[in-house]
Structure 1
């Protein structure tokens, strides 16, 4: 019985994990150039990327990109 509850908890935690988007995916989603994305991000006008631990790669959280897009339509 306890085993089933544990697997349910694990499943729920996985559902809350954001997709880590690559720059090309972000460009396609928001229709803004790579340089403009970094420019806006440096000015705190666009979500900042995070570094993937142990690598030189950066990614964006899908939920942050979606929230940013929705905020653009709210204005």
Structure 2
């Protein structure tokens, strides 16, 4: 994977369902983590109530959680 492809991959925006699948938890758990401030901050798309997370931020967060165990 080239550097540009890697950057594009990490910048991809994920839905709550995709974050849950990547983290191996339910969407309800992701909502709870968000409410508790445990997750990286999401991006709120202009004019929409949808929350999206940068894939790179989520991957880094998952890696950090694994390191703490």
**How high is the TM-score relative to the length of structure 2?**
0.73
* Structure-to-structure mapping, 1:1-75, within 5 angstroms: 15=7, 18-75=11-68
**Secondary structure at 2:48's aligned position in 1?**
coil
Q: Structure 1: which 5+ residue stretches go unaligned?
A: 1-11
Q: Structure 2: which 5+ residue stretches go unaligned?
A: none
Structure 1 vs Structure 2 CA RMSD: 1.8
Aligned to 1:3: none
**How high is the TM-score relative to the length of structure 1?**
0.68
Divergent runs of 4+, >4 A = none
Bigger RCO (CA 8 Å, 6+ sep): 2
CA drift of 1:54 comes to: 2.4
Larger radius of gyration: 1
